[in-house]
Structure 1
Amino acid sequence: MINYTIIIPHKNTPKYLQRCLDSIPERDDIQIIIVDDNSDYIDTINFPGLNKKNTEVYFTKEGKGAGYARNIGLSCAKGKWLLFADADDYFNKGFLDIIDKYLNSDNDVIYFSASSIDNKTGKIANRNKDIVKVINNFNKEKYKTVENLIFKNWTPWSKMFKHNFIKHKNLFFEEVKVGNDALFVLESGINAKKIAVDKFPIYCVTYSITSLTFSITNETFFDERFNAKIRINNYLDDKGKDRYKIPLGDDIVISINYGFKKFFNTIKKAKINNNKIILSTIQSLIKRFLKILNFKN
């Protein structure tokens, strides 16, 4: 019987993917699914996972992004529980002992804490700060902390989802390049009848300046990221959770790099979609100004 399916989308980071796989002990009840999202180069002989027990590797050519890759993983999943990992992250030692405690629980979603490191230096990073905060502050008797857990914690990693629950709710990832995971995680949290929270950091989320999360390489990617935020904010509006909407000030400021027309169109789109932008734009400008001053000093 397969108790856990771990789904890992991959693109162009085989070294880190191998590290991720090495962090998962071999057990007969674990199914690992790797879905390559049309990497620029594939070593079909030495590709990580090809010779690992209970590991399935799928090579896609569509290049539709991590959401598409995760959906392929979902279609092949056999486990009682679903876990997700990014190829450049990894699981922390002892994580199986922790998740085994919940193997027969009646929860739909289980939220865990996470650690973080800088991929380049190996030093402690802060990509985990938001998740640590909502996990540590969680109190099932206080509704606000439950809301914060769901609406401030949108990434699929460091969580465990009951497979039958995901099937029953017919939940899938958006097949877009950026922000494909947020609505899947939000819908899971909103629809879960029972959840659990564990403060153990089962997962290490890494920081890399070149990752999609932190880099804007061109106007096309800017548009994809901005549109993802608009979609998420519209969803939160529909749910009456507008206080959790993503501030768009940074996007307004960055848009001027692509000309005044882009700048004004970005403002227009934000306002048409009911986003307040004045305060967050001022805050973004101040932050950038202070950064310039510190650099000069």
Structure 2
Amino acid sequence: MSQNFPKNLSIIIPHYNTPHLLHKLIDSIPQSPDIQIIVVDDNSDCHLDILADLQGKYCAQVEFYVNGTGRKGAGACRNVGLQHADGKWILFADADDFFLPEMYENICPYFDTNYDEVFFTPTSIYLDTGETANRHLKLKNCIDEFLEKPTRENILRLKISTCSPCSRLIRHELIRQHNIQFREIQYSNDIMFTAQTGYYSRKITASRDTIYCMTRSHGSLTTHTDWDVFLMRLHEEINVCDFLLRHFSKKDLKRMQYACSIRLAEAVRRHYGLKKYLFIIKVYIQHGVPMIARGQINLISLKNYIQGLCTNETDSDYFVNNK
């Protein structure tokens, strides 16, 4: 059933301990009565004076909420934001990123279309130098492949394999109709959300217009390498694979690049040891997940893919404060 929304766009931002970067993000969003900006603070415990000043400065433009669910993380914060969202379309942004000047002009033409998702080519930079980084390359490459050849494989990769919910317009009605939520866990809390929106979305498009910039810092710790964190990520990926296998074939799973080879190669790179390698293989076999994804026999491509994973493992560095 079609729903009426008072605004065209809701932008949902989880925040934790980086009000100086949040300030830059809010400033990058145009002031418009048609845009609802929602910031959900995850109970920040430092720079509280700066955060309070920010709340005072933007009290008329931004809705500030606190994550009172008792479950920390960007996933829980985004779910709180969705409860308050009243826009026809949803954009997610991370507090350490920002929008580009032409963002609103580039997304406006899609407000009255019947797409479920609209993907925009992102970019990324190092905060300390302004040099181009590599955080955006996976989504950019998927968009390029889709626009050049919209095959089933390229459609599935774009909709489901890109993982991050940022730099895409999502129809709010799609989220509500299927009760799609983020997982309220510390790591990989967005991959089930994007898998479900990807599955339920029926009509998508993509644009080479760039509306969103992801950020990194040289020398910052962008990934957790300990086994316990790896295990949490592995189990969540298995949950996603279980969901996908209920709706897609193993062949499609290979097309979406969900396979044992990715996590296994990552584990080898981190020197976890033979016992853990065998454990990873066993888990994937038990759940019927393919061992090798399509196109990953190419060792150079596999190496580049793993390096991308290992530099973008935490959800937009949400739990890293020294970025």
Work out whether the TM-score is over 0.5.
yes
User: How many Å apart are 1:42 and its aligned residue?
Assistant: 5.1
Q: Alignment partner of 2:87: what SS?
A: coil
* Structure 1 unaligned regions, length at least 5: 292-297
Contact 1:50 1:57 in 2 (8 A): no
Structure 1 counterpart of 2:40: 35
Equivalent of residue 142 in structure 2, options 121, 134, 137: 134
Contact 2:16 2:43 in 1 (8 A): yes
Q: CA 1:254–1:144 in 2, change beyond 3 Å: closer, same or farther?
A: closer
Deviations 1:198-227 (A, max 9, x none): 11011111224646xx31154432322222
Large movers: runs of 4+ above 6 Å: none
Deviations 1:76-122 (A, max 9, x none): 00111110001111111100001111121121211111111112322
Q: Distance in 1 between matches of 2:204 and 2:292?
A: 37
Structure 2 counterpart of 1:248: 263
Structure 2 counterpart of 1:294: none
Equivalent of residue 54 in structure 1, options 50, 61, 64: 61
Equivalent of residue 185 in structure 2, options 176, 180, 194: 176
* Structure 2 unaligned regions, length at least 5: 1-5, 308-323
Q: Distance in 1 between matches of 2:270 and 2:287?
A: 17
Structure 2 counterpart of 1:90: 98
Q: Distance in 2 between matches of 1:187 and 1:35?
A: 23
Deviations 1:18-67 (A, max 9, x none): 11111111111111111112223251564434431331111225242111
Q: Distance in 2 between matches of 1:221 and 1:144?
A: 30
1:231 aligns with 2:231: no
Structure 1 counterpart of 2:31: 26
Q: Distance in 1 between matches of 2:275 and 2:154?
A: 41
Task: Answer with 169-178 or 67-76: which moved more.
Answer: 169-178
Aligned length: 285
Equivalent of residue 77 in structure 1, options 69, 73, 85: 85
Q: CA 1:274–1:143 in 2, change beyond 3 Å: closer, same or farther?
A: closer
Contact 1:255 1:262 in 2 (8 A): no
Q: CA 1:63–1:187 in 2, change beyond 3 Å: closer, same or farther?
A: closer
Contact 1:33 1:56 in 2 (8 A): yes
Q: Give the TM-score taking structure 2 as reference length.
A: 0.77
User: How many Å apart are 1:68 and its aligned residue?
Assistant: 0.7
Structure 1 vs Structure 2 CA RMSD: 3.0
Deviations 1:177-209 (A, max 9, x none): 111112212221221232222110111112246
Structure 1 counterpart of 2:164: 155
Deviations 1:234-272 (A, max 9, x none): 333332232020511244326754x77655544433443
Contact 1:82 1:160 in 2 (8 A): yes
1:10 aligns with 2:21: no
Q: Distance in 1 between matches of 2:56 and 2:265?
A: 41
Q: CA 1:37–1:218 in 2, change beyond 3 Å: closer, same or farther?
A: farther
Contact 2:191 2:237 in 1 (8 A): no
Q: Give the TM-score taking structure 1 as reference length.
A: 0.83
Percentage of pairs with the same residue: 33
Structure 1 counterpart of 2:228: 220
User: How many Å apart are 1:165 and its aligned residue?
Assistant: 2.1
User: How many Å apart are 1:130 and its aligned residue?
Assistant: 1.6
AA in 1 matched with 2:253: D
Q: Distance in 2 between matches of 1:215 and 1:271?
A: 26
Structure 1 counterpart of 2:133: 125
Structure 1 counterpart of 2:124: 116
Contact 2:267 2:277 in 1 (8 A): yes
Contact 1:112 1:159 in 2 (8 A): yes
